[in-house]
């Protein structure tokens, strides 16, 4: 039996440009919703809408009685609707490509299911009174969504990857960079869950850690991430044909340095709200940057069906001294 999408695909074809715009919209909104979530937290608006899915038990939208906190929380919820539209655009555009690539359609649909998971996590967050562990899970799910929107964006925008011979260590270094960056982001949720920005003006439970200790751990992981980024960039400097991957690594290093400066400033200045929100934006950009480095070092990842020139990076075999 033919599905509605199948029926439509037989009659309508969308251009790759439509797919690129759809994936770009999904990526931008997935970053924006992380930022607005930060605004909710630092303004104490996490329970501005005290129920879920309705805002006050009777209305889906905020009311005058809920004040500015209700407006801020409802705005963040409403942005989920914008995200659904963007993700829906990407799904439809992926399905209506000719020829169709099933892996691209699956990537686009993965965004939708993560949007649903995030919406449910948001509801659980409200219903548990902003339990810090649930809030951390909600943020991790938002980063998972950002991962899929980044991968889909890359897939829609990638050209035919060139054949570049990289040093043997570069490939594993890129994977380690992504892994350490992921741990860095998770550690950041512990810092936030232990710190003063609980998301509500009332007494809200905090994680049972010593704030200075988890902050130092977060800083050490940030320094390790920066060192790995610099080392990867230095390794790519020796490869003349790896200009794209080299630029990506340099951009990543610059973003991490800026993020570290913001993190240090907010710690020294007593966690001003605007710096905390800026730091959340930086965390999203750092994660996107790490994924982009990985994808440019390993162009065969998420590449779909290979054409004649769609060749992954070749890792050379170790050289053997002929004198032995």
Residue 309 has pLDDT above 60, yes or no: no
2 inside domain = no
- Three-state DSSP at 3 gives coil
Q: What is the pTM of this model?
A: 0.89
- Domain match, 54 and 88 both: yes
For the record, the structure tokens of 279 come out as 């730091």
Number of domains in the chain: 2
The pLDDT value given to residue 306? 41
CA angle 166, 168, 172 (to 5 degrees): 105
HSE of 189, CA atoms in CB hemisphere, 13 A: 20
- pLDDT band of residue 302 (cuts 50, 70, 90) is low
For the record, the structure tokens of 76 come out as 């963040």
- Domain match, 274 and 203 both: yes
Burial of 6 (0-12, 13-18, 19+ CB in 10 A): exposed
Domain boundary, last residue among 110, 128, 157:
157
90 inside domain = yes
Residues 125-134 have a mean pLDDT of 94
- Cα(1)–Cα(81) distance, rounded to whole angstroms? 31
Residue 8 has pLDDT above 90, yes or no: no
- Cα(276)–Cα(269) distance, rounded to whole angstroms? 11
Return mean pLDDT, the chain: 88
- pLDDT band of residue 316 (cuts 50, 70, 90) is very low
270 inside domain = yes
Read off φ and ψ for residue 114, nearest 5 degrees: -75, -30
321 inside domain = no
The percentage of residues in the chain with a pLDDT greater than 90, rounded to a whole number, is 69
Read off φ and ψ for residue 277, nearest 5 degrees: -65, -40
Are 92 and 75 a contacting pair, CB within 8 Å?
Answer: no
- Domain match, 119 and 242 both: no
- Cα(146)–Cα(129) distance, rounded to whole angstroms? 25
- Domain match, 249 and 186 both: yes
315 inside domain = no
Stretch (H or E) spanning 219: helix 211-237
- Domain match, 147 and 172 both: no
- Cα(285)–Cα(252) distance, rounded to whole angstroms? 9
For the segment 198-256, what is each residue's pLDDT rounded down to a tens digit? Answer: 898 888 899 999 999 999 999 999 999 999 999 999 999 888 888 888 999 999 999 99
CA distance between the termini of the chain: 66
- Domain match, 288 and 264 both: yes
The pLDDT value given to residue 29? 96
For the segment 166-192, what is each residue's pLDDT rounded down to a tens digit? Answer: 788 898 999 999 999 999 999 999 999
For the record, the structure tokens of 268 come out as 């020294």
Residues 144-152 have a mean pLDDT of 96
Identify the sign of the CA torsion 52, 54, 60, 63.
Answer: negative
- pLDDT band of residue 264 (cuts 50, 70, 90) is very high
The pLDDT value given to residue 46? 93
- pLDDT band of residue 162 (cuts 50, 70, 90) is low
Domain boundary, last residue among 117, 133, 157:
157
- Domain match, 22 and 124 both: yes
- Cα(30)–Cα(28) distance, rounded to whole angstroms? 6
Nearest CA to 218 among 250, 195, 249, 200?
Answer: 195
- Domain match, 150 and 21 both: yes
Q: Which domain holds residue 46?
A: 11-157
């Amino acid at each position: 039996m033919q599905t509605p999408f199948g029926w439509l695909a037989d009659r309508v074809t969308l251009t790759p440009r439509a797919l690129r715009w759809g994936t770009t919209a999904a990526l931008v909104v997935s970053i924006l919703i992380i930022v607005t979530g930060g605004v909710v937290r630092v303004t104490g608006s996490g329970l501005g809408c005290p129920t879920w899915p309705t805002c006050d038990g009777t209305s889906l939208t905020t009311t005058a009685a809920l004040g500015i906190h209700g407006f801020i929380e409802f705005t963040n919820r409403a942005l989920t609707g914008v995200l659904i539209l963007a993700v829906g655009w990407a799904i439809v555009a992926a399905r209506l490509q000719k020829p169709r690539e099933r892996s691209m359609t699956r990537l686009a649909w993965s965004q939708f299911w993560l949007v649903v998971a995030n919406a449910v996590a948001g509801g659980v967050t409200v219903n548990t009174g902003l339990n810090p562990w649930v809030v951390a899970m909600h943020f991790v799910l938002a980063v998972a969504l950002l991962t899929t929107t980044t991968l889909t964006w890359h897939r829609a925008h990638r050209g035919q990857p060139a054949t570049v011979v990289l040093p043997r260590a570069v490939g594993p270094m890129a994977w380690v960079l992504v892994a350490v960056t992921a741990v860095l982001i998770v550690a950041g949720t512990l810092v936030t869950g232990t710190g003063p920005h609980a998301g509500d003006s009332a007494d809200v439970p905090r994680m049972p850690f010593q704030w200075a200790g988890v902050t130092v751990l977060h800083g050490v992981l940030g320094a390790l991430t920066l060192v790995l980024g610099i080392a990867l960039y230095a390794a790519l400097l020796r490869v003349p044909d790896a200009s794209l991957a080299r630029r990506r690594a340099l951009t990543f290093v610059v973003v991490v340095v800026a993020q570290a400066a913001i993190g240090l400033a907010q710690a020294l200045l007593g966690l001003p709200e605007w710096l905390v929100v800026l730091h959340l934006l930086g965390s999203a950009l750092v994660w996107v940057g790490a994924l982009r480095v990985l994808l440019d070092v390993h162009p065969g990842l998420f590449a779909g069906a290979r054409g004649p020139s769609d060749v992954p990076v070749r890792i050379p075999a170790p050289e053997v001294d002929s004198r032995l």
